[in-house]
């Protein structure tokens, strides 16, 4: 069977979506779902810092949308927060340092709920983790996964709110992160009793390299669909190769 490599695109239904926030903005996004079954869980993506190139197409999220619907039955909802641009277009509004982005998160969660998408989890990466911590402890969110949390915009009060929610929280922290490394992360997240901090040996903040992509996607899949990690390295079915050119 063909091996799944960095630019492999597995079958899924991929629909452009528009998310409308309560403060009147239109955000661009995409919903990827399995083509042969109903999704069994939902991943709502909050991307890295848009002022430094973060967007819905940041590589972990693009690869999640390429693989997880087919491999684990997970619906992947990704979108550009306010003022952010990707190939899908530009969301209205302007970057707001994690405050206005709370409207964006809540609108995405509401849309997922309205669409009947099951078992929604938030997955934040870098800046996206701050948005999750500040605004994500709401219903019907079942839990959250944080990738490279810098704890730049979020505060102890935000961590305490997550602790009070009792919602599960998993933090994947690169050993060589530029902002927050595993030992310090364990200290900071100690105020959230249900938080699990997982240090990833050799990884850096941006998770570059297929080895680390597989670790991240496997960890996400396992928490959303227990028993699905390790994800397959091969795929018995149609598979395309993405080309940015």
Residue 1 is predicted with a pLDDT of: 87
Phi first, then psi: what are they for 199, rounded to 5°? Answer: -80, 135
Per-residue model confidence as pLDDT tens digits over 158-194: 999 999 999 999 999 999 999 999 999 999 999 999 9
Has residue 3 been placed in a domain?
no
Has residue 89 been placed in a domain?
yes
Give the Cα separation of 241 and 58 in Å (integer). 17
Give the Cα separation of 69 and 100 in Å (integer). 30
Name the residue range of residue 54's domain: 8-224
Has residue 167 been placed in a domain?
yes
DSSP state of 155: -
Domain count of the fold of the chain: 1
Phi first, then psi: what are they for 84, rounded to 5°? Answer: -100, 140
Residue 245 is predicted with a pLDDT of: 53
- For residue 138, CA distances in Å to 93, 143, 192 come to 23, 9, 16
Has residue 122 been placed in a domain?
yes
Count CB neighbours of 207 within 10 A.
23
Has residue 230 been placed in a domain?
no
DSSP string, 190-202: GGSTTEEEEEETT
Q: Looking at residue 161, which CATH number applies to its domain?
A: 3.40.50.1820
Give the Cα separation of 12 and 32 in Å (integer). 6
Beta strands 169-174 and 85-86, pairing class: unpaired
Exposed / middle / buried, residue 236 (Cβ in 10 Å: 0-12, 13-18, 19+): exposed
Has residue 237 been placed in a domain?
no
Residue 244 is predicted with a pLDDT of: 72
Give the Cα separation of 67 and 161 in Å (integer). 33
Exposed / middle / buried, residue 197 (Cβ in 10 Å: 0-12, 13-18, 19+): buried
Count CB neighbours of 160 within 10 A.
12
Q: For the chain, which residues score pLDDT lower than 70?
A: 245
Has residue 233 been placed in a domain?
no
Residue 243 is predicted with a pLDDT of: 84
DSSP string, 157-169: HHHHHHHHHT--E
The residue written with tokens 């997970």 in the block is: 74
Question: What is the distance of C-alpha 226 from the center of its chain?
Answer: 17
Has residue 240 been placed in a domain?
no
């Amino acid at each position: 069977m063909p091996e799944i490599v960095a630019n492999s695109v597995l079958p899924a239904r991929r629909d452009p979506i528009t998310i409308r926030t309560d403060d009147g903005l239109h955000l661009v996004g995409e919903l990827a779902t399995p083509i042969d079954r109903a999704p069994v869980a939902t991943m709502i993506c909050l991307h890295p810092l848009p002022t430094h190139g973060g967007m819905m197409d940041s590589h972990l999220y693009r690869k999640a949308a390429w693989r997880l619907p087919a491999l684990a039955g997970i619906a992947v909802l990704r979108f550009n927060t306010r003022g952010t641009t990707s190939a899908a277009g530009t969301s209205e509004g302007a970057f707001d340092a994690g405050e206005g982005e709370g409207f964006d998160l809540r609108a995405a969660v509401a849309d997922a709920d309205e669409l009947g998408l099951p078992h929604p989890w938030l997955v934040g990466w870098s800046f996206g983790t701050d948005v999750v911590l500040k605004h994500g402890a709401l219903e019907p969110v079942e839990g959250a996964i944080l990738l490279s949390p810098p704890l730049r915009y979020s505060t102890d009060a935000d961590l305490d709110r997550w602790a009070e929610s009792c919602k599960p929280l998993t933090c994947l922290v690169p050993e060589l992160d530029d902002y927050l490394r595993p030992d310090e992360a364990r200290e900071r997240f100690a105020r959230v009793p249900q938080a699990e901090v997982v240090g990833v040996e050799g990884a850096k903040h941006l998770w570059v390299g297929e080895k680390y992509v597989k670790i991240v996607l496997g960890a996400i899949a396992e928490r959303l669909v227990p028993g699905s990690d390790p994800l397959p390295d091969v795929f018995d079915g149609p598979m395309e190769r993405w080309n940015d050119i």
